Amino acid sequence: APRGDELAKAIREQQLFLAFQPQINLQQGTQHGQVIGVEALVRWQDPQRGVLYPDSFIPLAEQNGLMLPLTWSVIELALKQQAQWLSQGWDLNVSINIPAAFIQAEGVLEAFDQLTQEHHAVLSKITLELTETAGVECLGYACYVLKALRQRGCTLALDDFGTGHSSLTQLYRLPFSELKIDRSFVSLIDRDKEALVITESIIDLGKRLGLTVVAEGIETQAQFTQLVEAGCAVGQGYCIAHPLTADAFNTWMHEYS
Ligand code: G
Ligand code: G
Ligand code: MN
Ligand code: NA
């Protein structure tokens, strides 16, 4: 297994890269609905081990105090990629996974502004998918930062909704405009009546609160259809596309329409 010092070196030497999973408009009712954007998912190109996935190094980053540099690296890659797509005429939203504690780090806004300018990114097409928000009060500095990011045009999404760390309380306390239904519900809706009822209720709740509801982990045609019928706005998952490297995403986009 990789060690903390190896991960620190990997971050410094820019061995992290992003995979992009397309997110499409579900309300056109076809698996070829409009591509709204992508979720950026971090990977580590290790010279010895090959490509490593977040489950094998995010916990390591947490244990070694590396979440801050890792997250900055991801943000910079995501902003660069968004600007690159914009320059080729693709007006895509890019969603980035952000551990909520990150928002409380000193100088977040200044660093965001600096990176945005440097890479000519457009924050109105950036979504911050916040996870582990339980420790974040919408008070003081964290709330100020979230509101300032919203003012700059960022969309704030509550990720993994419905699981232990992502609850109604969080939805109520923080200024979200998007809600992501956790894969653990979506993966069951074609087999389990209760999972379907819960998912439909989350979609209703989100709509009534004026939130954009996004379903992740859509794997089957049946799941897709049930989400469309329940009125879910946006979806991603293997039945639409796997997470893709930037090159593979390019090819996929050209073949998709
Ligand atoms: O890409 P994959 O399905 O292997 O991701 C596994 C987990 O790692 C998911 O829960 C995902 O949210 C998380 N993850 C993926 N990319 C990032 C990232 O850039 N930052 C953080 N903090 N988590 C990520
Ligand atoms: O927790 P988060 O939503 O960030 O997790 C996204 C992760 O889920 C990505 O790492 C991605 O590889 C994975 N993923 C994406 N689509 C599917 C899917 O349809 N099924 C499963 N099992 N995993 C998926
Ligand atoms: Mn996510
Ligand atoms: Na999730």
pLDDT single digits (tens) 213-257: 999 999 999 999 999 999 999 999 999 999 999 999 999 999 997
Residue 4 makes CB contacts below 8 A (sequence gap 6+) with 60, 63, 64, 66
Residue 255 makes CB contacts below 8 A (sequence gap 6+) with none
Q: What is the pTM of this model?
A: 0.96
Domain that holds residue 217: 21-34+69-243
- For 233, the token pair is 């706005």
Is residue 191 included in any domain, yes or no?
A: yes
pLDDT, position 142? 84
Is residue 6 included in any domain, yes or no?
A: no
Residue type, 156: L
- What domain count does the chain have? 1
Look up the CATH number of the domain holding residue 26: 3.20.20.450
**Could you report the per-residue pLDDT of 133-191, keeping only the tens digit for each?**
777 776 678 889 999 999 999 999 999 998 877 778 788 888 899 999 999 999 999 99
Is residue 212 included in any domain, yes or no?
A: yes
Nearest CA to ligand 2 atom 11: 243
* Mean pLDDT (the chain, rounded): 94
Q: Is the CB of 216 under 6 A from ligand 2?
A: yes
Q: Is the CB of 58 under 6 A from ligand 1?
A: yes
pLDDT, position 71? 97
Is residue 12 included in any domain, yes or no?
A: no
Residue type, 34: Q
Q: How far is CA 241 from the centre of its chain?
A: 15
Is residue 13 included in any domain, yes or no?
A: no
**Average pLDDT of span 45-69:** 96
Q: Is the CB of 243 under 6 A from ligand 1?
A: yes
Is residue 54 included in any domain, yes or no?
A: no
* pLDDT band for position 39 (cuts 50, 70, 90): very high
Q: How many angstroms separate the CA atoms of 120 and 87, rounded?
A: 10
Is residue 4 included in any domain, yes or no?
A: no
* pLDDT band for position 63 (cuts 50, 70, 90): very high
Q: For residue 161, which of 142, 144, 176 has the smallest C-alpha distance?
A: 176
Residue with tokens 């964290």: 142
What is the pairing mode between strands 93-99 and 178-181? unpaired
Is residue 171 included in any domain, yes or no?
A: yes
237 Cα–ligand 2 center, Å: 7
Q: How many angstroms separate the CA atoms of 73 and 88, rounded?
A: 23
